[in-house]
């Protein structure tokens, strides 16, 4: 049966550390959490003011710590934009390092995406070729470690279904899937339900974001993604789409995690709404 989790991005503005997020999950009866990964170190994370983890830390020790809270990873976020030359050099290596870390941490998936613009001076097909090259290289490590790579709609290519279909068709591997995002598809001007229906067989993980009416009126069709929703899930203009997406996936046999992406101030309210919609196991 599906389950509910959340992305620790919710507490970026609160300056929480990752363990505080684990405590929030435990206090609210959640078994799954998702966080970002830092391939190196940063003072704000090292000082305990950032709710994500460094790949320099010991994944096995973190897995044991998480076991003590009764919480496990649903996914690690390694979303370096891959539709650039930096994506082929920095991005692919970042994803490979995150995959190796995830294997030891007991995490099943890595989240990836592209940038909101196509590479300067390149045609769509040239930019898409960069994406394919990056995914092809990263998949070698994913398949050898049995950790899945998920493609999230968040950028120029990934919010357009015909490009996503071309990427997925190029790599029929069970280790390349889709991280559906209800908010990003909506703000990009897509119909989230139609987008999901096209790729439901490849969906492995879901980001649930609502969209405020003001943001939708001002920016829908202008943006390709939202970093973090200010609206509580269920209170925005995307609520009915979210309900339909959840129902579609549950009827299709989805057994993954619905990971909430909203500000920490409205996370509990969002969780209460999600529990009225998701049939948890």
3's CB contacts (< 8 A; 6+ apart) are: 31, 32, 74, 256, 257, 258, 278, 280, 281
CB 180 within 8 A of CB 196: yes
Q: In whole angstroms, what is the distance from residue 195 CA to residue 152 CA?
A: 12
Q: What is the pLDDT averaged over residues 212-236?
A: 95
Closest to 256 in 3D by CA, of 10, 107, 74: 74
Q: What is the pLDDT averaged over residues 200-219?
A: 97
Side-chain-side CA neighbours of residue 70 (13 Å): 9
* Residue 106 pLDDT: 98
Give the chain's mean pLDDT: 97
User: pLDDT at residue 279 above 90?
Assistant: no
Q: What tens digit of pLDDT does each residue of 15-42 get?
A: 999 999 999 999 999 999 999 999 999 9
Q: What is the pLDDT averaged over residues 148-154?
A: 98
* Residue 227 pLDDT: 87
User: pLDDT at residue 281 above 80?
Assistant: no
Kindly report the pTM of this predicted structure.
Answer: 0.97
Closest to 94 in 3D by CA, of 148, 39, 150: 39
Q: Where are the domains of the chain?
A: 3-277
3-state secondary structure of 187: helix
Q: In whole angstroms, what is the distance from residue 261 CA to residue 8 CA?
A: 8
Q: What tens digit of pLDDT does each residue of 119-135 get?
A: 889 999 999 999 999 99
Report the CATH superfamily, name and number, of domain 3-277. Answer: Divalent-metal-dependent TIM barrel enzymes (3.20.20.150)
**Percentage of residues in the chain with pLDDT exceeding 90?**
96
User: pLDDT at residue 244 above 90?
Assistant: yes
* Residue 228 pLDDT: 86
CB 135 within 8 A of CB 168: no
Q: What tens digit of pLDDT does each residue of 52-71 get?
A: 999 999 999 999 999 999 99
């Amino acid at each position: 049966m599906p389950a509910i989790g959340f992305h620790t991005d919710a507490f970026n503005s609160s300056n929480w550390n990752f363990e505080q997020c684990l405590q929030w999950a435990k206090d609210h009866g959640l078994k799954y959490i998702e966080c970002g990964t830092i391939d190196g170190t940063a003072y704000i994370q090292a000082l305990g003011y950032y709710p994500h983890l460094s790949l320099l830390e010991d994944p096995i020790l973190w897995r044991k710590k998480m076991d003590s809270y009764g919480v496990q990873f649903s996914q690690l976020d390694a979303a370096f934009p891959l539709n650039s030359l930096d994506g082929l050099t920095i991005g692919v290596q970042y994803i490979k390092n995150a995959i190796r870390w995830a294997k030891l941490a007991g995490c099943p998936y890595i989240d990836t995406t592209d940038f909101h613009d196509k590479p300067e001076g390149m045609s769509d097909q040239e930019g898409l070729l960069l994406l394919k090259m990056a995914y092809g290289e990263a998949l070698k490590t994913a398949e050898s470690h049995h950790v899945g790579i998920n493609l999230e709609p968040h950028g120029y290519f990934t919010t357009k279904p015909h490009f996503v279909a071309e990427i997925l068709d190029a790599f029929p591997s069970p280790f390349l899937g889709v991280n559906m995002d209800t908010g990003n598809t909506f703000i990009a001007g897509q119909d989230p339900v139609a987008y999901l229906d096209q790729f439901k067989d490849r969906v492995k993980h879901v980001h649930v974001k609502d969209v405020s009416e003001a943001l939708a009126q001002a920016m829908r069709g202008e943006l390709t993604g939202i970093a973090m929703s200010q609206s509580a899930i269920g209170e925005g203009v995307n609520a009915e789409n979210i309900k339909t997406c959840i129902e579609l996936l549950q009827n299709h046999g989805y057994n993954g995690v619905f990971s909430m992406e909203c500000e920490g101030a409205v996370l509990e309210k969002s969780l209460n709404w999600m529990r009225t919609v998701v049939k948890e196991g």
